[in-house]
Amino acid sequence: MSVEQALDELRSNPALSENITHWQSLPARKPRYADFPESMNTSIKELLQERGIKQLYCHQASAYDTALRGEDIVVVTPTASGKTLCYNLPILHSLLKNAEARALYLFPTKALAQDQVAELMDWTERLGGTIKTFTYDGDTPAEARRAIRSAGSIVVTNPDMLHAGILPHHTKWMRLFENLQYIVVDELHTYRGVFGSHTANVLRRLARICRFYGSSPQFICTSATISNPADHGSRLIGRSVTVIDDNGAPQGPREIVFYNPPVVNAALGIRRSALLEAERVAKEFLKRSVQTILFARSRTDTEILVTYLRKTFHRLGDASEKIRGYRGGYLPNQRRQIERDLRAGRVLGVVSTNALELGVDIGTLEAAVLTGYPGTIASTWQQAGRAGRGSDLSAVVIIGNSSPLNQFVVQHPEFVLGQGAEMALINPENLYILISHLKCAVFELPFTDDESFGVEDVTSILDFLVDEQVLRRVGSRWYWMQENYPAVEVSLRSASADNFAIIDTTGGRRQVIGEVDRFSAPMLIHEGAIYIHESQQYHIDELDFDRQKAYARQVSVDYYTDANLAVELKVLDVSAETPLTEAQHVWGEVMVAAKTHMYKKIRFHTHENIGWGPISLPEMEMHTTAYWITKADIPRDAAERDALQSGLMGTANLLINTVPLELMCSPGDLGVVAQLRSPFTGRPTIYVYEKYPGGVGFAAQLFENRSAVLMRVQQLLESCPCTDGCPSCVGPAAEVGANGKNHTRRFLREVMGDGPQPETQGLRQFREAD
């Protein structure tokens, strides 16, 4: 009932309701059932009945049937639809039938794996205890590992551990690999971008090892809604898959509210901060004891929100411990504690980054507040799915921030409500990634020239590694010829294996409080930065870049810091291009040099700039792929040049916010640079580049879909209610100058041309190569 009261308040309090741009009531959905499959093991049937399950949802039954027919499957259903049964039923059935058979479960994170194993163990115990389930991850004690290797019927792990801990030692896992019948890949949609491209290669290695031991396991994957599950699944596991997406699970009624923070300065088009509005909205739920999850867009935002809400709660006379933060960078024990407290109801409100988007079990929450559009439709539904398990009413509030993308979404709710989710993209052929895993593969087993590795011919890469004295070729075989262990040098999650540790030195102690990856370090933990952890502020006193350590001290200040990133760019190679007419579109390879020069101090609440400081850290260089638009010529006239500059900036701002909509990626995966006279083209150019070495396919995809993307940019520009341009579309006037909207409109018209796009040179090769 309290959910309804909070919603009533949103509806009836004018200070809140005037900001609501759309209110959508989603009706409850009835379940659709199927009988237990006849062939299914009787003790499993009995166990299901014991737990009050009399029938299966139709998608569970069809997953069982399809899996037992021997097909590789991807089950695509929303959060809380009982997807674990989709793999547990056929697998438990098969393992009961054949005691020697083995299964390998892969979860994207350790937390998810631990969660699933607890449930699975409960099942197997009740099934007589013949099926042994073990988690194998970095936390597994050394004594337990031997038993797991030989006796584990079901081994639950994550791709990182498979990559660095299991495959390089496959002889110790002989029993598993000889008898491997099933591989489960849970949360398939999370394996996209860099992580997905790496994982696809880890699975290629796994397939080689299975062939060596004479097994050919079958895949069962589950995924949240994406638009290309069949394609994505088959790219990832390297085989064609059968998609099961006929969801039979019920859903309680849901109220989805789109909320746009009020304009505070109409002339400059500045809106109130989404963080402040999120606090206002969340308060309505929390003070009625509605268990609520808030999603923030960044680690910093998470901590700011926790700080705000704790203060509010304190004023309301309630314990501020009822509000907790949850994000990457917290230590595992701390995270487990928060998860338990959420399930037990000891924590009322949790503020999280997308870390809680996945299936970590935190029990039933009643409301979700999304601070900012999560970047993709799929993520939006995942985050919204955190509220409303069971058949009770639940509420989801999506609060737009001032970015163009967010403004578009809150003003066009049909964009989220009316269409399917995005595609998940991976590029297992990324040269850097492919080479890393070929090295690991040769380490695991010598490579022969009749083998393939996803791509048909890898002999030229292997021979290159021979030149590099990493491998040795003898006849038709390549052997590993180094002392080291290649897997430790390859991290599946980021561009570099090495993280920076943040050490709290307050009062003479030395305690590690968190970690930051190498590329984020110059932005987040430069000297003078305010790093926030568990809503405690830390001042970074010293960053020891070589030793990868930052020394921090607890402080209490009224500002946070924001670092500026300067990027330079050099074109190395053109992969495909359109003919140069009035404009030209290109896809190719570039070298990006990024350097942080300074940071700003920004006051809480008012968000005013109250000072700055220099940053002197080494430049980060990266070879990657990019898409760029070049305009034919630079006007002579100075005023015209300024107008063009303004149009370039405006388009760049719009692009960086639009592209994530079209390609399922986060804005952080891409960078944009606009240059009036690019050193490479000698012409006005906008580059959109991938922030991962070698790229994972976004630039190529962007080049191919450029018409759709540029049309979306136009739509975004025209749908903004401002007249001359504002921070929500082309960017602040201080950056793009006056009349930025008009200049951008003109630039777009010129580079898009009218009529059909000319045939692309080079694209054909690209398709063939693909």
Partner 1 sequence: MDLSQKLKAFVSSEKLTDTRSPADTAGADTNAWGGRQVSNAFGSCCLIETRYVLPHQHGTSQLYDVLGCASVGLEMLLREPRAASLDLSKTVFLDTETTGLAGGTGTYAFLVGFGFFAAREFVIRQYMMRDFPEELAMLECLHEELATVQTLVTFNGRSFDWPLLRDRFLLSRVHPPPIVELHLDLLAAARRLWRHELPSCSLQTLEKTILGVRREGDVPGAEVPQRYFAYLQSGDSTLLDDVLHHNTLDILSLAALYSALSKRGTASPKSLRWSSEAEGIARLHAEAGRHMTALRYYDRAIDLAADRKTLRRLLLAISFCYKRLDRFDRAEPIWHALMDDVPVCCEELAKYYEHRTKDLARALHAAEHGLRLAERLQPQASERFRHRISRLKRSTRSGAGLPG
Residue 453 CB, nearest approach to partner 1 (Å): 14
- According to DSSP, the residues that pair with 102 across neighbouring strands are 180
Of the pair 229, 486, the CB lying nearest partner 1 is at 486
Q: Which residues does 767 contact at the CB level (< 8 Å), separation at least 6?
A: none
Q: Smallest distance, Å, CB 463 to partner 1?
A: 9
Would you say 133 or 157 has its CB closer to partner 1? 157
Cβ 438 to partner 1 shortest distance, Å = 11
> Least CB distance from residue 472 to partner 1, whole Å?
6
Count how many Cα atoms sit within 13 Å of the Cα of residue 769 in the half-sphere of its side chain: 11
Residues 6+ apart with CB under 8 A from 267: none
Show the DSSP H helices in 500-637 as ranges.
Answer: 521-524
Whether 615 and 665 have beta carbons less than 8 Å apart is answered as: no
Q: At what angle do helices 110-126 and 332-343 cross, to 10 degrees?
A: 60
Select 445 or 598, whichever has its Cβ closest to partner 1. 445
CB 218 to partner 1: min, Å: 24
**CB-CB contact of 526 with 533 (8 Å):** no
CB 512 within 8 A of CB 533: no
Please, are residues 290 and 283 in contact by the beta-carbon 8 Å criterion? no
| Interface residues toward partner 1, by CB under 8 A | 168-172, 174, 431-432, 435, 442-446, 460-461, 464, 466-469, 472-475, 477, 479-487, 572-573, 589, 623, 694
CA distance 311 to 276: 13
526, 615 Cβ separation under 8 angstroms: yes
- From residue 378, how far is each of 29, 357, 415, 484, 696 by CA, in Å? 19, 11, 12, 41, 19
Q: Closest distance between partner 1 and the C-beta of residue 139, in Å?
A: 21
Q: Cβ distance 324 to 338 under 8 Å?
A: yes
- Of 469 and 581, which has the nearer Cβ to partner 1? 469
**Least distance to partner 1 from the beta carbon of 459, Å?**
11
Nearest-CA neighbor of 77 among 23, 116, 31?
31
Q: Cβ closer to partner 1: 136 or 560? A: 136
- In terms of CB distance, is 170 or 743 closer to partner 1? 170
**Whether 167 contacts 200, CB under 8 Å:** no
Task: Please state, in angstroms and rounded to a whole number, the distance separating the CA atoms of residues 724 and 717.
Answer: 10
Contact 439, 465 (CB under 8 A): yes
Angle, nearest 10°, between helix axes 42-50 and 110-126?
110
Residue among 38 and 467 whose Cβ is closer to partner 1: 467
Identify the DSSP state of 453: B
DSSP symbols for 71-104 = --EEEE--TTS-THHHHHHHHHHHHHH-TT-EEE
Q: Which of 511, 541, 494 is nearest to 696 (CA)?
A: 494
Q: Taking a C-beta distance cutoff of 8 angstroms, is the pair 428, 197 a contact?
A: yes
Shortest distance in whole angstroms from residue 628 CB to partner 1? 17
Sign of CA dihedral 247, 375, 394, 305: positive
How far apart are CB 758 and partner 1 at their closest, in Å? 24
Shortest spacing between CB 172 and partner 1, in angstroms: 8
- Smallest gap from Cβ 439 to partner 1, in A, equals 9
Which is nearer to partner 1, 165 or 684 (by Cβ)? 165
Instruction: State the nearest-atom distance from the C-beta of 424 to partner 1, in Å.
Output: 26
Q: How far is CA 189 from CA 22, 192, 430, in A?
A: 28, 6, 19
User: Of the two residues 107 and 177, which places its CB atom closer to partner 1 in the complex?
Assistant: 177
* Beta carbon nearer to partner 1, 624 or 646: 624
Cβ proximity to partner 1: between 487 and 670 the closer is 487
Nearer to partner 1, 146 or 605 (CB): 146
